[in-house]
Amino acid sequence: MERPESVGDLTEILRQGGYLADRGLATALFVSLNLQRPVLLEGEVGVGKTEVAKVLASVFGRKLIRLQCYEGIDTNQALYEWDYARQMLHIRALSERQLDSDDAVDKLFGPKFLLERPLLEAVRAGDQAVLLIDEIDRADDEFEAFLLELLADFQITIPEIGTVKAATPPLVVLTSNRTRELHDALKRRCIYHWVGYPSAEREVEIVLVREPGASEALTRKVVAAVHRMRSLELAKPPGVAETIDWVRTLDVVGATDLDAQSVDDTLGAVVKERDDLELVRANLDGIASGG
Ligand SMILES: Nc1ncnc2c1ncn2[C@@H]1O[C@H](COP(=O)(O)OP(=O)(O)OP(=O)(O)O)[C@@H](O)[C@H]1O
Ligand SMILES: [Mg+2]
């Protein structure tokens, strides 16, 4: 698909892909696409940060390449690795005489034995890909510094093979739950957008896009109840993902209305912390009906 012509155009394309972006998010993504700058999405849990990268890949017919960050992730796991097992097998298959030649050793560190990891794959795919660097806040400082360098020139040097460079960079979406502050240098390279909770009206729309079979009246009540929960200072406030799960759960158990009993029965779909459960259970009537 071609590039969107305007923010409104992009919003509509995303909507057709099942994602409802507000104006701020759509603008950040539009700028990112046009200026070929990475976009950094920070925000609450379960508000659609990861999903938007998936939908972007799907609506633009690009390949989604995902780098899931975690504590201790290192450059090998992100860039490339040598396939030791195959190298060993190959060595064993060679005769003594063949092993002596320089050529044989060179081959061992050639493309045949290279395992592509997400970042190398993304540099090779260039603008045919959406690179999702998910939960960058979980990686450590050094990894962040390394990423910063990569994002600057989209170039990877493999000593044994040479340099690979993207002709046109992929669309890069970074996400963070803000478990730690990211470096200014990384932020400066990106277009930044904070993804907050949607308004109640918008959240109803999102649920109905994702669950077209859901009852609108019940969805409205569920969304209102979730919004009341978010104002309770829970340790883990429910995200949009939980709202959708809750509507599905109510449907499965055959609940057609939201009252103290049906909230209590299905609470495990929305609240997943013991202390939070107690807090919510102490307010059941208010949460179910707003009374
Ligand atoms: N604006 C939206 N339009 C459509 N679906 C949405 C939207 N926001 C959230 N969702 C739904 O919520 C679900 C959770 O979203 P997602 O996994 O992207 O959240 P996240 O922000 O990455 O959360 P986490 O911080 O837990 O990783 C998605 O599967 C999607 O169905
Ligand atoms: Mg996510």
Q: Which ligand is nearest to the CA of 55?
A: 1
- Atom of ligand 1 minimally distant from the CA of 202: 1
Residue 291: per-residue pLDDT? 60
The tokens 């299905």 sit on which residue? 266
User: Please, which pLDDT band fits residue 102 given cuts at 50, 70 and 90?
Assistant: confident
Cβ pair 270, 245 in contact under 8 A: yes
The model's pTM: 0.92
pLDDT tens-digit readout, 29-50: 999 999 999 999 999 999 999 9
Pairing of strands 80-82, 114-116: antiparallel
Q: What is the DSSP letter of 44?
A: S
Sign of CA dihedral 70, 74, 79, 83: negative
Q: Which residue's alpha carbon is nearest to atom 10 within ligand 1? A: 48
**Residues 48-87 pLDDT 10s:** 999 999 999 999 999 999 999 999 999 989 999 999 999 9
What residues does ligand 1 touch, defined as CB less than 6 Å away?
Answer: 19-20, 45-51, 175, 177, 206, 209-210, 240-241, 244
Tell me which amino acid residue 198 is: P
Nearest ligand to residue 25 Cα: 1
C-beta of residue 66 within 8 angstroms of C-beta of residue 117: no
- The atom number, within ligand 1, closest to the CA of 177 reads 25
Tens of pLDDT, residue by residue over 171-180, are 999 999 999 9
Task: Indicate whether 28 pLDDT > 70.
Answer: yes
What is the tens place of the pLDDT at every residue in 243-255?
A: 999 999 999 999 9
d(CA 245, CA 270): 7
Tell me, in angstroms, the distance from the centre of ligand 2 to residue 126's CA.
Answer: 23
Please indicate whether residue 92 or residue 96 has the higher confidence score (pLDDT): 92
In a 13 Å sphere around the CA of 274, the CA atoms on its Cβ side amount to: 0
Instruction: Tell me which amino acid residue 122 is.
Output: A
Q: How confident is the model at residue 129 (pLDDT cuts 50, 70, 90)?
A: very high
DSSP-assigned beta bridge partners for residue 81:
115
- Residue 92 binned pLDDT confidence (cut-offs 50, 70, 90): confident
Give dist(CA 37, CA 69) in Å, integer. Answer: 20
What's phi and psi for 155, nearest 5 deg? -140, 135
Helix spans in 114-214 (H): 118-125, 141-153, 184-189, 200-210
User: Which residue's alpha carbon is nearest to atom 1 within ligand 1?
Assistant: 20
Mean pLDDT of all residues in 187-208? 96
Which pLDDT belongs to residue 2?
Answer: 67
The average confidence (pLDDT) of the chain is 93
- pLDDT-above-90 percentage for the chain: 86
For the CA of 21, the closest atom of ligand 1 is 1
What's the pLDDT tens digit per position in 260-271? 999 999 999 999
Residue from 143, 132, 222 nearest 170 by CA? 132
Taking CA atoms, 239 is separated from 54, 161, 180, 249, in Å, by 18, 45, 20, 15
In sequence order, what are the residues at sequence separation of 6 or more whose Cβ sits closer than 8 angstroms to the Cβ of residue 3?
A: 33, 34
- Tell how far CA 193 is from the center of its chain: 14
Write down the residue that tokens 């633009």 correspond to: 60
pLDDT number for residue 95: 76
195 by DSSP, 3-state: which?
Answer: strand
For atom 23 of ligand 1, which residue has the closest CA?
Answer: 46
Query: Tens digits of per-residue pLDDT, 148-169?
Result: 999 999 999 998 889 999 999 9
